[in-house]
Amino acid sequence: GESVGLHLPTLSVQEGDNSIINCAYSNSASDYFIWYKQESGKGPQFIIDIRSNMDKRQGQRVTVLLNKTVKHLSLQIAATQPGDSAVYFCAEGYTGNQFYFGTGTSLTVIP
């Protein structure tokens, strides 16, 4: 599979602060990216996606930024809440079929 990695394996933030989770990808041909949230013992949950023809997309309390020049993806969570504590993965796709996941970042929200 492709190499998709994260800069920080763990991240701790105070409740109410903003969180930024980063991801680097290696395949410049990737044209679709997704952020997933995974709670312990559960399958991944879709958070937000972005196509390569965009550089920013916003959802509810989340924003994804894509920098194709340096092959970098980030997830911003506004006003982080305890329920946001989980492992976050980025995934890239380029064939319209398979997806490859990054290493993951464990986010801990401190009350």
Partner 1 sequence: GAVVSQHPSWVICKSGTSVKIECRSLDFQATTMFWYRQFPKQSLMLMATSNEGSKATYEQGVEKDKFLINHASLTLSTLTVTSAHPEDSSFYICSASHRGQSSYEQYFGPGTRLTVT
Interface with partner 1 (CB under 8 A): 1, 32, 34, 36, 41-46, 49, 89, 93, 96-104
Report the distance separating Cα 86 and Cα 10, nearest Å.
10
At its nearest, how many Å lie between partner 1 and the CB of residue 41? 7
Nearer CB in complex with partner 1: 80/104? 104
Dig out the tokens for 46 from the structure.
């879709």
CB 36 within 8 A of CB 44: yes
Nearer CB in complex with partner 1: 96/111? 96
Secondary structure element (H or E) that encloses residue 15, with its range: none
